[in-house]
Structure 1
Amino acid sequence: MPRAPRRPPQLRGRVFRGSTAVSRGLLTRNDLRSSAWRPLFRDVYADAQLTVTHTIRCAAVGRWLVPPGTAIAGRAAAGLYGCPSTSAGAPIDVLVSTDSRIGPTNGIRVHHGQIDPGDILDRAGITVTSPARTCWDVARWLDMVEAVVVIDALLALRLTTVPALREYALSRAGRRGWRSLLRSIDLVDAGAESPQESRTRVRLVLAGLPRPETQWVVADQGRFVARLDLAWPQFKVAVEYDGLWHDDPEQFHRDRRRLNRLLGGDWIVLHVTAKRLRDDFDGFLAEVKAALRTRAARSHDRARTWK
């Protein structure tokens, strides 16, 4: 019968430096390779029975892998603020001052830049970029769509506002990224309830469609009928992102029943999935354009915008 791996009580439920555990005689290098321990970064391990969260990973980076004054930044910072934009195991973005030096480390993306007063905060013992600085950085580091996804989420959490971000960008006019932040601000909407809703909306607008309303409520004689992800209420055209919400497979069917009630109210509801966004966005865009053109013609509005 194979021998159970060593699990010293001092390390159970903890994250630790492997070299420290070895030097203290708690483990050997061979012990670190056992199933009892999970490697997180170079020389950083966790008890395999510990649920490793994004916060735990960021704390490990800040404690052991970067110099003092380094801040968790970008998407990683947004994740610490509670935004659903950070995938498990994604590299951790860090921001270091221009005069600091840090070598490459697997699992970390290093960005150098000027850090202004107020740009970094302490959040539960972790040094992180402020919400405004996080928005600035994602506008510089990510493409337009993904930047807006992050900024939408920070706005929805009420961690910043559009006027505050605009002022932040204008106060840094001439520095790299200020125009990118302004362009992103023009596309944001705090009403988005998921990253995929944000991606759908921004891609449609960047493709030339008029900006839709988010979370539009449809009522009939004062009675609630439905709430729509994206809507052009003047044309009664809507887009719904189909996803499994709150780990509840039945929600999809409830949403479809709810939206079917709109058909009698003369609404066109177009559905899109992650696969469609990824593999056939042009086809979906053509369907939305066709629906808007049809309704615009019916209401005698000019439709040249969507040709």
Structure 2
Amino acid sequence: MPKAPRRPPQLRGRIFRGSVAVSRGLLTRNDLRSAAWRPLFRDVYAESRLRVTHQARCAAVERWLIPPGAAIAGRAAAALYGCPTPSRAAPVDVLVPKDSRIGPTAGLQVHHGEVDLGDVVERAGVRVTGPERTCWDLARWLDLVEAVVVIDALLDRRLTDVSTLREYALARAGQRGWRSLLRAVDLADAGAESPQESRTRVRLVLAGLPRPQTQWVVADQGRFVARLDLAWPAFKVAVEYDGLWHDDPEQFHRDRRRLNRLLGGEWIVLHVTGKRLREDFDGFLAEVRAALRARSRSPWHPMIVLEHGCSGLPEEGDHYILDRARSWGARHRQPARAERVRAVGGARHGARGAIRRRGGTWSGRRGSCWRRRRRCRSSRPRRRPGTPCRP
């Protein structure tokens, strides 16, 4: 019969340093290798029956592994604010002052940088970077989509707001990362309720679609019908992300009943799953584009479809894809200018034209390239109808 591992009462249910336990004679090096103890970091152990939370891991890092003046940062700090917790295998981000030295440690992702006193706060007994500095670091360390995902979660919990983040970035203009933060803030939205919804929205916008509304409420004569994850209300097109909680039979029944009511209200609802976002995003993007274009060709659904992340009304020298130019020009006016907007070249149903500034009005001209460009305003060579635009 195998011998039961030794568990001293002083160490049960606790996180401790292995070297201290050995020096006090509570354990031996062989005891630390037994199944009774689980290593967390270098020389940091926990009892195997103890449920180690993210807060406990960060507290151990701040207490034993990082020098004074350093703080928990990045995704680890965002999780302490209530954002989704990183996986247990993910390293803990720490921000260390430039004049401090720390060797590489398994389980830690060490970042060196300037640490101002106002950038560090105490959260749950742990020194962490403040919400604004956390967003700054995320914009520098992560790719754009993943940075916006975490910033959305911080905005949703009202730990900061868009105007504060913009002021924080502009106050540090010229420093590394200020432009990255501004770009991430421009794409952020406090209405996102899950990381996958944020990823879907940001990827659609970066692919060139107009920015959708989040958590759009659909009502029929004052009665609640549904709340949509992402929606373009002017065209009655919506995107719903189906997560794991949709596997519940009752939830599936409610979703399908809600979908039937939306379809009765002439809504186009497209569903996407995590697997399709990973493996077939281009196909899903094509479906969303087709739905928006179908609605834009209707006389009561005028629409301008933009590419390369463009949105809003025309600016001088800009080129767009324009569906039903006559309808768009007749129904849209610029709020900042008194001049009239009109488009020619889209007289027939579904015709396309490029719009550009001519004098005091916006006019259309067929045959030009349909891509927005600011730097080069010279016309490109005419192309044959039906051929795709060059990249």
TM-score tier, shorter chain, comes to: over 0.9
Change beyond 3 A, Cα 1:267–1:182? same
* Secondary structure class of the residue paired with 2:128: strand
Structure 2 residue 108 is the aligned partner of structure 1 residue 108: yes
CA contact (8 A) 2:246 2:252 kept: no
Instruction: Return the letter of the residue paired with 1:239.
Output: V
CA contact (8 A) 1:297 1:303 kept: no
CA contact (8 A) 1:74 1:93 kept: yes
- How far the C-alpha of 1:255 sits from its partner, in A, is 2.5
* Cα distance in structure 2, aligned partners of 1:246 and 1:92: 32
Alignment of 1:196-215 (within 5 A): 196-215=196-215
Residue 84 of structure 1 corresponds to which residue in structure 2? 84
Residue 305 of structure 1 corresponds to which residue in structure 2? 306
* Cα distance in structure 1, aligned partners of 2:45 and 2:248: 34
Alignment of 1:30-109 (within 5 A): 30-84=30-84, 86-109=86-109
- How far the C-alpha of 1:130 sits from its partner, in A, is 0.1
CA contact (8 A) 2:245 2:251 kept: yes
CA contact (8 A) 2:54 2:85 kept: no
Alignment of 1:145-160 (within 5 A): 145-160=145-160
* Cα distance in structure 2, aligned partners of 1:221 and 1:282: 37
- How far the C-alpha of 1:236 sits from its partner, in A, is 0.6
Residue 126 of structure 2 corresponds to which residue in structure 1? 126
Instruction: Return the letter of the residue paired with 2:128.
Output: V
- CA displacement, residues 12-37 of structure 1 (integer Å, 9 cap, x when unaligned): 11001111111111111111111111
- How far the C-alpha of 1:94 sits from its partner, in A, is 0.3
Residue 29 of structure 1 corresponds to which residue in structure 2? 29
CA contact (8 A) 1:41 1:106 kept: yes
| Identical-pair percentage | 79
CA contact (8 A) 1:72 1:129 kept: yes
- How far the C-alpha of 1:246 sits from its partner, in A, is 9.8
* Cα distance in structure 2, aligned partners of 1:89 and 1:250: 34
More helix by percentage: 1
Structure 2 residue 303 is the aligned partner of structure 1 residue 281: no
Q: Which moved more, 1:231-240 or 1:85-94?
A: 85-94
TM-score after normalising by structure 1? 0.96
Bigger radius of gyration among the two: 2
Residue 183 of structure 1 corresponds to which residue in structure 2? 183
* Cα distance in structure 1, aligned partners of 2:242 and 2:61: 36
Change beyond 3 A, Cα 1:26–1:66? same
* Secondary structure class of the residue paired with 2:184: helix
* Cα distance in structure 1, aligned partners of 2:258 and 2:169: 42
Instruction: Return the letter of the residue paired with 2:256.
Output: R
* Secondary structure class of the residue paired with 1:226: strand
- How far the C-alpha of 1:221 sits from its partner, in A, is 0.8
Residue 16 of structure 1 corresponds to which residue in structure 2? 16
- How far the C-alpha of 1:250 sits from its partner, in A, is 4.3
TM-score after normalising by structure 2? 0.76
Change beyond 3 A, Cα 1:55–1:249? farther
- How far the C-alpha of 1:89 sits from its partner, in A, is 2.8
Change beyond 3 A, Cα 1:125–1:85? closer
CA contact (8 A) 1:37 1:47 kept: yes
* Cα distance in structure 2, aligned partners of 1:285 and 1:165: 30
* Secondary structure class of the residue paired with 1:118: helix
Specify every segment of 5 or more residues in structure 2 that has no aligned partner in the other structure, as ranges.
308-320, 322-391
* Cα distance in structure 1, aligned partners of 2:179 and 2:252: 39
Change beyond 3 A, Cα 1:252–1:45? farther
Change beyond 3 A, Cα 1:242–1:46? same
* Cα distance in structure 1, aligned partners of 2:238 and 2:86: 28
Instruction: Return the letter of the residue paired with 1:64.
Output: W
* Cα distance in structure 2, aligned partners of 1:198 and 1:224: 24
CA contact (8 A) 2:209 2:305 kept: no
Instruction: Return the letter of the residue paired with 2:187.
Output: L
* Secondary structure class of the residue paired with 1:217: strand
* Cα distance in structure 2, aligned partners of 1:216 and 1:114: 41
* Cα distance in structure 1, aligned partners of 2:253 and 2:104: 47
Relative contact order higher in (CA < 8 Å, ≥ 6 apart): 1
- How far the C-alpha of 1:84 sits from its partner, in A, is 1.0
Instruction: Return the letter of the residue paired with 2:67.
Output: P
Residue 267 of structure 1 corresponds to which residue in structure 2? 267
* Cα distance in structure 2, aligned partners of 1:285 and 1:130: 36
- How far the C-alpha of 1:54 sits from its partner, in A, is 0.8
Alignment of 1:174-253 (within 5 A): 174-245=174-245, 250-253=250-253
* Cα distance in structure 2, aligned partners of 1:137 and 1:105: 20
- How far the C-alpha of 1:251 sits from its partner, in A, is 3.0
CA contact (8 A) 1:15 1:47 kept: yes
* Cα distance in structure 2, aligned partners of 1:78 and 1:246: 27
